[in-house]
C-alpha cells in the first residue's frame, strides 16, 4: 500500500439529483481548493499531525490529480461509462482512486469498476443518512442519487450482507421494512452510533465484510448532522458529528480500495464549512495511505 499513488478524481455530476438539491457538480473544484489549505502544510514530504503529536513522512509525489470524469451532459449512460473506464484504468495501474462527487448516483459506476477488477466479492461501507435502495420511480428513474446501492446489488459480486450502512436515520417508505429484513443488509443507525463507540462500529462493519476481496467506501456528506454540513443535498436532523466520523474513517483508510465523497453542495454551503470537512477527510486519507 505504501507504494500506491493517491489519485484524486473529480466527478462533477448532479444529473441524479432528482429529489435532492442539485449543485453537487460544483463540489470537486471547491474541495480541491479547500484541500490546498491542508496540503500547504506539507514540507519536504513531511507533515505534523497536531492531535497525534507526530510528524509523518509521506511518499514522494504520492498525490496526483487525474482530473475529472468526462461528463456527457446529454447521457447518464455515457457519463457513467466514462467514469467506469477511468477508474478501471487507475485501479489497473495500482493507483488508489479518491473520487470527488457529485451527487450520490456517481457511486454506482465506480463500484462497478472496482467490482469488475476484483477476483471475488466486494464489500461496501456506506456512510449516509439515507438508504439509497430505491429500485425505480417515475420521478427518479433507475440511476438517481436514491438508487446506487440498489444498482450495486445487481452486480454478481455484491451481496446484501456485504453492504454496511452507517448513520442512516429518519423516516422512509413503508416497503423498506420487509425489504431490509429479507435482504440482510447491515445497518448501524445514527442513534446506534451515538450509543456506541467509533471503534465498536468499525469492528462490526469489518466483521460483516470478512472474506471479501475488495472494500469500497462511500461517504455521503449528509451522514453528518446538518449543523455541521449545511452544504448537502438534503437535510436530515439527528446525524453524526465530525469527530465521530473522523474517528471511524481513520480506522478504514488503509483497508479500503476505493473511496468516494458524495453530495457536497457548495451552492448551499455556509462559509465553505462542508467543503472544508470533505477536504479534511481527503487529506486524512492521503496521510494515512502515504505514510512511510
- Ligand-binding annotation for 130, yes or no, is yes
**104 annotated as ligand-binding:** yes
- Residue 257 assigned ligand-binding role: no
Other CB atoms within 10 A of residue 211 CB: 9
Reference 157, options 215, 205, 203; nearest CA is 215
Q: Is 132 annotated as a binding residue?
A: yes
Q: What is the dihedral of CA 18, 23, 25, 29, to 10 degrees?
A: -160
Strand ranges in the chain using DSSP code E only, listed in sequence order: 5-11, 46-49, 54-57, 63-68, 95-101, 122-127, 163-168, 186-189, 214-220, 258-262
Alpha carbon 236 to its chain's center? 18
Q: Is 271 annotated as a binding residue?
A: no
Cα→Cα distances 75→27, 88, 260, Å: 20, 20, 21
Distance of CA 167 to the CA centre of its chain: 13
| Angle, alpha carbons 277-29-142 (nearest 5°) | 85
Q: Is 222 assigned to a binding site?
A: yes
Known binding residues: 104, 128, 130, 132, 220, 222
Known binding residues for Mn(2+): 104, 128, 130, 132, 220, 222
Amino acid at each position: 500500500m505504501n507504494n500506491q499513488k493517491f489519485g484524486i478524481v473529480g466527478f462533477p455530476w448532479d444529473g441524479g439529483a432528482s429529489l435532492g438539491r442539485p449543485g453537487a457538480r460544483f463540489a470537486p473544484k471547491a474541495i480541491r481548493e479547500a484541500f490546498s489549505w491542508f496540503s500547504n502544510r506539507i514540507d519536504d514530504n513531511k507533515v505534523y499531525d497536531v492531535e497525534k503529536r507526530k510528524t509523518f513522512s509521506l511518499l514522494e509525489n504520492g498525490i496526483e490529480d487525474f482530473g475529472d470524469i468526462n461528463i456527457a451532459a446529454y447521457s447518464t449512460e455515457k457519463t457513467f461509462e466514462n467514469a467506469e473506464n477511468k477508474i478501471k484504468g487507475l485501479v489497473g495501474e495500482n493507483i488508489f482512486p479518491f473520487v470527488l462527487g457529485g451527487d450520490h448516483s456517481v457511486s454506482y459506476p465506480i463500484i462497478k469498476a472496482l467490482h469488475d477488477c476484483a477476483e471475488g466479492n466486494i464489500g461496501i461501507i456506506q456512510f449516509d443518512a439515507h438508504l439509497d435502495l430505491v429500485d425505480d420511480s417515475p420521478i427518479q428513474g433507475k440511476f438517481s442519487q436514491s438508487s446506487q446501492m440498489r444498482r450495486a446489488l445487481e452486480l454478481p459480486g455484491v451481496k446484501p450482507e456485504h453492504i454496511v450502512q452507517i448513520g442512516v436515520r429518519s423516516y422512509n417508505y413503508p416497503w423498506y421494512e420487509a425489504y431490509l429484513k429479507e435482504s440482510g443488509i447491515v445497518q448501524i443507525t445514527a442513534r446506534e452510533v451515538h450509543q456506541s463507540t467509533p471503534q465498536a462500529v468499525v469492528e462490526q462493519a469489518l466483521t460483516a465484510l470478512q472474506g471479501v476481496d475488495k472494500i469500497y467506501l462511500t461517504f455521503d456528506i449528509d451522514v453528518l448532522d446538518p449543523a455541521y454540513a449545511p452544504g448537502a443535498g438534503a437535510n436530515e436532523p439527528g446525524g453524526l458529528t465530525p469527530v465521530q466520523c473522523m474517528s471511524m474513517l481513520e480506522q478504514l483508510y488503509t483497508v479500503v480500495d476505493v473511496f468516494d465523497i458524495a453530495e457536497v453542495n457548495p451552492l448551499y454551503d455556509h462559509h465553505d464549512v462542508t467543503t472544508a470537512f470533505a477536504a479534511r477527510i481527503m487529506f486524512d486519507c492521503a496521510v494515512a495511505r502515504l505514510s512511510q
